Chain A
Amino acid sequence: MSDVAHEGNSGVPPEAEDISWRQRYWKKNLRLMLVLLAVWFTVSFGFGILLIEPLNNIVILGFPLGLWFAQQGSVYTFLILILVYALWMDKIDDEFGVAERNDEGGYK
């Protein structure tokens, strides 16, 4: 692990004793989480189960839309949600100067 700053644009590494950043960090994390979970619920339980019958009246490429959400669309949505979470948390980590990406390989 290198101590040289790779923290991204605006980030200044916080001191260990200063913990006021933690509340802001946690708040941002929670807000992101709640938004993503709302989408998670709407697409899977909303479109795929509660509203499946009305949505089935719309047919695209042979798929009744409700069925498509239940068997395909929701899974695509889940994937995107997890990716958005991982990328957005990277951004938040950068902002607070606590990114770990140098330890991970992956991309820089």
Chain B
Amino acid sequence: MTETQFWTFFFIILTFGIYIIIAWRSRVKETKEFYVASQGVPTLANGAAIAADWMSAASFIGMAGLIAFLGSDGSVYLMGWTGGYVLLALLLAPYLRKWGKFTVPEFVGDRYSESVRLVAAICAIVVSFTYVVGQMAGGGIVFSRFLGLSIEWGVVLVAVVIFFYAVLGGMKGITYTQVAQYTVLIIAYLIPAFAVAYQTTGIPIPQISYGQILSELDALSAEFGLAAFTEAFAGRAGGQVDVFLVTLSLMLGTAGLPHVIIRFYTTKTVRGARYSAFWALFFISLLYLTAPAVGAFTKLNLLQGVQGQSPDTLPNWINTWGATGLVTVNEDAETIQTVSNIATSGADLIVNNDILVLASPEIGGLPAPIVGLMAAGGMAAAMSTAAGLLLVISSAASHDLYFRVIKKTGATDKEQMLVGRIAMAVAILVAIWAGINPPAFVAQVVAFAFGLAASTFFPILILGIFWKKANGPGATAGMLSGLVFTSTYMIYTLEVFGTGANDHILNVSPEGIGAVGAAVNFIVTVVVSKLTAPPSQVVQEMVEEIRYPQTRAAARS
């Protein structure tokens, strides 16, 4: 066993042990605990849990690498995945909390109609499921690289641990485990980042000091045939329009993703929901503000390490990562002349985006315990997100589908819990299978999940809160047209389900189409609502009610 493997085992076993202990201590007995942790989660803890829930394997493992190669345009992810929280905090969280039930489909069901609830439940399951598959695959990569385990066993091991605490503890177990997972992942992310920043610039605050290396990085990038880091609109083919639309899509998608929204149901009060949003973004920004710095520093170290080297004299990390197939070297090259992140580019050294963060301690020459910590952090990010998503799948399947369509009345509390747990278990089994045999479109998961959330949920939630006249037929038509419009364009432009990839229309990439889909949904909902009868007085009263805090007089009566 190498030193790195020893430390990886050490940190993985330590952290998994902590998660399981927390889960056992917060196991639940009631439906309300299972779905919304009895609405008793303190604001600070809820913020950390939302942050862990939100930051997936893609944020932790993938984002800095993406930004390293996208340069300036990497900001679409930075702004897109944080700016959505402003929309959540101002437009959704307080009102949904005031209304206060268990799931997102349940809100639209009460607000609009039962058929909207069904469509929403199915959308929630599809969106969450595509997302889970990515987490499982991410966890598998970490295990196969650091522990020499096969990807299959890696996925199974991850699933068993998640199964244990999610089925046992429901929302309560998941929330408190996520607080621990956030702590692990942020420490794992920040320590190497601060160390590398200090090594390179003498200032241990990467967010500030990465400015100093930007001109050097631009010069070196040009030498290896890469675009300049600081040049705007160089990283994406669609240019400014596309950057605008992708950022907007990711923001609207963030605000519409069911696994994020339901976290605001778990606070004690409306006020708690507002502050939860603040703490969530605070904890998220610790990682997001560091990511571009990690990307820039790692890219600089990488390029400096291979500059003027022949394939035989390359740094060690290239060999160890070569085994995963995510780094390839052109053995015939005399010296490394070109570097790329694109597998088909034919460059002398090809580095996959996804390894930059996990390999950054090795690229920067940091000691073995830090490499091991990094692995534990990557696992924490993947597991915390997977657990949150599984809860959404379980609640949508049992609470919104099973008990609405199949068994409509007379379900006891015990029965509801049992069905919720069975749904969770089934979801985990399917996720294991999909994680081991990832469908071809996993790489497009992000585009899918966010585009669909932006074009289905976001508009009808906003209209449901701010426009009393929005009605059931309007929301059904709006949601379906947003869904059909967005997925049609994605299928048209992406290679999924065996279809060919066509050219982008008007430079709009499939990642950016969600914003247009949201506009379609918005317009259709408004037009159809205007043409049909307004919602009942009861529903309009309900909309009125969620806008105001409860008065003391009303609370007493």
Instruction: Give chain A's interface residues, CB within 8 Å of chain B.
Output: 1, 3, 13-16, 22, 25-26, 29, 33, 36-37, 40, 44-45, 48-50, 52-53, 56, 60-64, 66-68, 70-72, 74-76, 78-79, 81-83, 85-86, 89-90, 93, 96-101, 103-106
Binding site secondary structure of chain B? helix
CB-contact partner of B232 in A25, A66, A89, under 8 A: A66
Of B161-169, B192-200, B204-212, B438-446, the stretch lying at the interface with chain A is: B204-212
Q: Count how many pairs of residues, one from A and one from B, have CB atoms less than 8 Å apart in the complex.
A: 166
Indicate the size class of the contact surface on chain B. Answer: 35 or more
Given contacts A53-B232, A104-B269, are A75 and B289 in contact (CB under 8 A)?
A: yes
Closest to B547 in A: A26
Residue contact B247 to A3, C-beta cutoff 8 Å: no
B554 interface contact, C-beta 8 A:
yes
B516 on the interface (CB 8 Å rule)? no
B550 pairs with A98, CB closer than 8 A: yes
Q: Please state if B212 and A70 are interface contacts (CB–CB under 8 Å).
A: no
Return chain B residues, CB-CB under 8 Å to A86.
89, 271, 274-275, 277-278
- What residues of A have a CB within 8 angstroms of the CB of B94 in the complex? 89
**20 further A-B pairs in the complex, CB-CB below 8 A; given A70-B72, A85-B89:** A16-B557, A33-B90, A36-B90, A40-B83, A49-B75, A52-B72, A53-B232, A56-B232, A61-B212, A62-B212, A62-B214, A68-B211, A78-B85, A82-B274, A86-B271, A89-B94, A89-B274, A98-B551, A100-B269, A100-B270
**A residues less than 8 Å from B544 (CB atoms):** 22
- Residues on B facing A (Cβ under 8 Å): 42-43, 67, 72, 74-75, 78-79, 82-83, 85-86, 89-91, 94, 207-208, 210-215, 230, 232, 240, 243-244, 247-248, 268-272, 274-275, 277-278, 281-282, 285, 288-289, 292, 544, 547-557
- A36, A71, A99 — which one has the most chain B CB atoms within 10 A of its CB? A71
Flag if B289 contacts A85 (CB, 8 Å).
no
* Cβ A14 vs Cβ B85 within 8 A: no
Tell me if B548 and A98 are in contact (CB < 8 A).
Answer: yes
Contact A75 B288, beta carbon cutoff 8 Å: yes
Rounded to whole angstroms, the CA-CA distance of A102 and B83 in the bound complex is: 30
* A-B contacts, 20 listed (Cβ < 8 Å): A13-B551, A45-B244, A60-B211, A61-B212, A70-B72, A70-B78, A72-B292, A74-B79, A76-B285, A76-B289, A81-B86, A82-B90, A82-B277, A82-B281, A85-B274, A89-B274, A99-B549, A100-B272, A100-B549, A101-B271
Given A48, A66, A68, A82, which contacts B79 in the complex, CB threshold below 8 Å?
A48
Smallest Cβ distance from A60 to chain B, in angstroms?
A: 8
A46 to chain B, nearest CB (A): 11
Interface SS, A side: helix
- CB neighbours (8 Å) of A44 from chain B are 79, 83, 247
Chain B residues with Cβ below 8 Å from A93 are: 271, 549
Q: How far is the CA of A1 from the CA of B427 in the complex (A)?
A: 40
Cα A40 to Cα B555 in complex, Å, equals: 35
Partner of B211 from A63, A66, A101 at Cβ < 8 Å: A63
* Closest A residue to B216 using CB positions: A62
Q: What's the minimum C-beta distance from A95 to chain B, rounded to whole angstroms?
A: 12
- For B549, the chain A residues whose CB sits under 8 A away are 93, 96, 98-100
Bound-state Cα–Cα, A1 to B232, Å: 54
The distance in angstroms between the C-alpha atoms of A52 and B553, with both chains bound, is 52
Q: Please tell me if the beta carbons of A78 and B281 are within 8 angstroms of each other in the complex.
A: yes
Q: How far is the CA of A50 from the CA of B491 in the complex (A)?
A: 29
Choose from A40, A49, A76, A99 the contact partner of B86 (Cβ within 8 Å): A40
Expressed in whole angstroms, the Cα–Cα distance for A1 and B555 within the complex equals 10
Contacts of B86 in A (CB 8 A): 36-37, 40, 78, 81-82
Q: How far is the CA of A72 from the CA of B232 in the complex (A)?
A: 15
CA distance A98 to B98 in the complex (A): 13
Asked if A79 and B285 sit within 8 Å, CB to CB, the answer is yes
Contacts of A103 in B (CB 8 A): 268-269, 271
- A13-B552, A64-B230, A71-B78 known; A100+B271 contact, CB < 8 A: yes
Q: Known contacts being A33-B91, A93-B271, is A25 close to B548, with CB within 8 Å?
A: yes
- The 6 residue pairs across chains A and B that have the minimum distance between CB atoms: A62-B211, A70-B75, A63-B211, A16-B553, A98-B549, A86-B274
| Partner pick for B271 among A14, A64, A104, CB 8 A cutoff | A104
Say whether B212 contacts A72, CB under 8 Å.
no
Find chain B residues with CB under 8 A from A79 CB. 278, 281-282, 285
Cα distance A44–B210 in the bound complex, in angstroms: 20
Residues of A within 8 A of B74 (CB): 71
Specify the chain B residue showing the minimal Cβ separation from A7. Answer: B552
Q: Tell me, in angstroms, the Cα distance from A67 to B215 when the chains sit together.
A: 13
Q: A61 contacts B208, CB within 8 Å? A: yes
